[in-house]
Amino acid sequence: MGRMPTSSTTATDDIAHSGAERLADTAVAGDLAFLLARANAVSIAAANAALAEHGLKVRQYSVLALAADQSRPSQRELAEFLRLDPSQIVALIDELEARGFVVREPDPTDRRAKVVAATAAGRRMYAKARRTVVASEVECFGVLNDQERCVLTDLLRRLAFPAR
């Protein structure tokens, strides 16, 4: 299924409208790729709505989260992990850096590489943003119980990081 649009609707908006319901019995509606795409669209809409109050987009939030971790990722690692082109990472970090949330530090072991690290302000922003994202995920994924979310996490992890 295609990349679905990031709607600006809030997580509480009604999402399956009457028109779409009539199509819910088609073969497409049972297709795993389609359901994955639509579920993702719902999830992104919820996360974007939650992050808007912090002036963050979901993409920047992901980078900030990885920078706020102790993992000290290089830009190349971020690109691979987030499945973005390295050239896209540049702008993403430029903006986070301009807002004082992350810094580029030289990698002592490879002078070509730059490590992305969160500043104190970045960690604070991440903590704040994370709370609203978690809240939005409760709305979004709360239709599943704890065990179901565990099962889903396991299944998705295997799809997201297929063994080579």
Partner DNA sequence: TATTGTTATACTCTATAACTATA
Partner DNA sequence: TATAGTTATAGAGTATAACAATA
Residues at the site binding DNA, with contacts judged by CB under 7 A: 2-8, 19, 57, 59, 74-76, 79, 84-90, 93-94, 104, 107, 110-114
DSSP 3: P
| Residue 152 binds which entry of a second copy, DNA, none, CB below 5-8 Å type-dependent | a second copy
| Residue 86 binds which entry of a second copy, DNA, none, CB below 5-8 Å type-dependent | DNA
Q: Does residue 116 come out as left (phi exceeding 0), alpha (psi in the -120 to 50 range) or beta? A: beta
Contact call for residue 26 and a second copy (CB under 8 A):
yes
CB 57 to DNA: min, Å: 5
| Residue 81 binds which entry of DNA, a second copy, none, CB below 5-8 Å type-dependent | a second copy
CB 124 to a second copy: min, Å: 16
Contacts of 9 (CB under 8 A, 6+ apart): 15, 45, 49
Candidates 6-14, 100-108, 115-123: pick the segment binding a second copy (CB under 8 A).
6-14
- Using the Cα atoms of residue 85, residue 71, residue 43 and residue 155 in order, give the sign of their dihedral: positive
Segment 95 to 154, residues that bind a second copy, using CB under 8 A: 133, 137, 140-141, 143-144, 148-149, 151-153
CB 154 to DNA: min, Å: 26
CB 145 to DNA: min, Å: 30
User: Which pairing describes strands 110-118 and 102-107: parallel, antiparallel, or unpaired?
Assistant: antiparallel
CB 150 to DNA: min, Å: 28
Contact call for residue 55 and a second copy (CB under 8 A):
no
Dihedrals φ, ψ of 90, to 5°?
-55, -55
Contacts of 144 (CB under 8 A, 6+ apart): 152
51 with 61: CB under 8 angstroms? Answer: yes
Of residues 84, 70, 83, the one with CA closest to residue 160: 83
